[in-house]
A and B are shown apart, each in its own frame.
Chain A
Amino acid sequence: MTSDKINKDTPWQELTEGGNIYSSGNAVEFKTGDWRSVKPIYLSEKCKQCGLCFPVCPDDAIPVNKEQKREDFNYDYCKGCGVCAKVCPFGAIEMKEEGV
């Protein structure tokens, strides 16, 4: 069985040995944002598109479009570290507790 077809329902007989992955460029398939305890909220009306937030994101959770403008957060990978909220000079990113 090829490793890209393996998922949480795959029986043990069909997993690759040692969990080997026989393909590349697939880290994106592993959603790493699910253990976030605080969540950044993007307030677009306050955002001046100054461009300070996305370079400091330790992951790749602030998408930037072709017009060089940031979009809303990608919560699949955001771990809620809050660095972006800290650098924002305009208060356009608010940190809120998850699950409240």
Chain B
Amino acid sequence: MSIRERLSGNEAAAIAMKQINPDVVAAFPITPSTEIPQYFSTFVSNGVVDTEFVAVESEHSAMSACVGAEAAGSRAMTATSANGLSYMWEMIYIASSMRLPIVMSLVNRAVSGPINIHNDHSDAMGVRDAGWVMLFSENNQEAYDNLVMAHRIAENEKVLLPLMVCQDGFITSHSIENIELIEDDKVKEFVGKYNPKHYLLNDKEKIAMGPLDLQPYLFEHKRQQAQAMANAKDVILEVSKDFEKMTGRKYGLFEEYKLEDAEIAIVCMNSTAGTTKYVVDELRNKGIKAGLLKIRVFRPFPAKEIAEALSGLKAIAVLDKSDSLNAVGGPLFTDVTSAMYVNKVIVPTVNYIYGIGGRDTKADDIEKVYMDLQKIAETGNVDNPYRYMGLRG
């Protein structure tokens, strides 16, 4: 029997880490992810886990310690947010290029400046090309479930990439919601023992890792990373299927909420999907055929599947909780629209930048977006595709 609990997103992530019982956790506190290593360090002090907890002096060192630990042959985890992730940036690329399946909890927060500690997705979007598998979570349950699935995906021989599980800072990380936890022994069995094929502390095999990789080789190694990322898609689906067998909770590359017969739809990620579902239900009660596509797997980006899921619509709005500041639109918008174009799906599509720096996203705001979509669906005119939601002026 699963365990009914009520936990914040950070507590849920820390408990997933406790159940995973990794060999090494190296982390440095930063709001709003601080509680994850804080709770975890109490598990270490109480002897509930066997983990070596490395209290580093910075995030650069946190990721470096994870790289070293994972290369040595152990399972390493960390957690961070915003500027902490920015400070890890150099080592983020080292982790993925060395093909080390480190797992990170990223509690999304605006990257300064001006300084702000609240939620948006600018931290995650800054590393979207770094070669990490990126899973997004609507609520505490998904943050927990994604972490339980994380190692099986990252450590798969066809993948061998680091993975980050994102959840919204404060909105998810600090809100207490109901959650269904899996029993310790079941998580342990599901995650399994880590048996890396090649690792530094193996006295049976000589190895040098991270060698100089000049003109004749780096291109080919990047191609291998690209392949690993493409392979991750099927592996995520396989692991999610096994997870469903254990828990009954079904996960795909994205969630389609009342999308099948929808005429207008929103595409978004993380906690906004919860608010959007509420609005979809309200609109459905009024006979408006609204739907939602919630992205779970952002990297690898399931372009073909998303294009197909959106192909029957009359108008689409992509909500971006960070701006690319490229004078064109947000990162999710450009990914979704290029996915549609390449797969020959032409539907009028608009972008809304919203929720920047923790700006509250209300059901009314989202309803207005659907109203805009109704007009676009009627006329087919997009006018300005690069819009804002909840911005003054």
A positions within 8 Å CB-CB of B? 8, 10-12, 15, 17-24, 30
Contacts and interface: CB of A to CB of B under 8 A. Distances in A.
A15 to B, nearest CB: 5
Given A18-B97, A18-B98, A22-B206, 20 more contacts: A8-B216, A8-B217, A10-B220, A11-B220, A12-B219, A12-B224, A15-B217, A15-B220, A15-B221, A17-B99, A18-B221, A19-B210, A19-B211, A20-B211, A21-B207, A22-B198, A22-B205, A22-B207, A23-B206, A24-B208
A20 B209 contact: yes
Contacts, number: 44
A21 B205 CA distance: 10
B217 A19 contact: yes
A12 B208 CA distance: 19
Contacts of B217: 8, 15, 19
B223 interface: yes
A17 B160 contact: yes
Interface residues of B, number: 21
B213 interface: yes
A15 B98 CA distance: 13
Contacts of A18: 97-99, 209-210, 221
Contacts of B210: 18-19
Nearest to A17: B99
Contact of B224 (A8, A15, A23, A24): A15
A8 B212 CA distance: 14
B332 to A, nearest CB: 29
Nearest to A24: B206
Nearest to A14: B220
- Nearest 7 interchain pairs by C-beta: A12-B220, A24-B206, A21-B208, A8-B216, A12-B223, A18-B99, A17-B99
Interface in B80-100: 97-99
Contact of A20 (B208, B216, B223): B208
Nearest to B198: A20
Nearest to B160: A17
B221 A19 contact: yes
Contacts of A10: 220
Interface in B183-238: 198, 205-213, 216-217, 219-221, 223-224
13 contacts: A8-B216, A12-B221, A12-B223, A15-B217, A15-B220, A15-B221, A15-B224, A17-B224, A18-B98, A20-B198, A20-B209, A22-B206, A24-B208
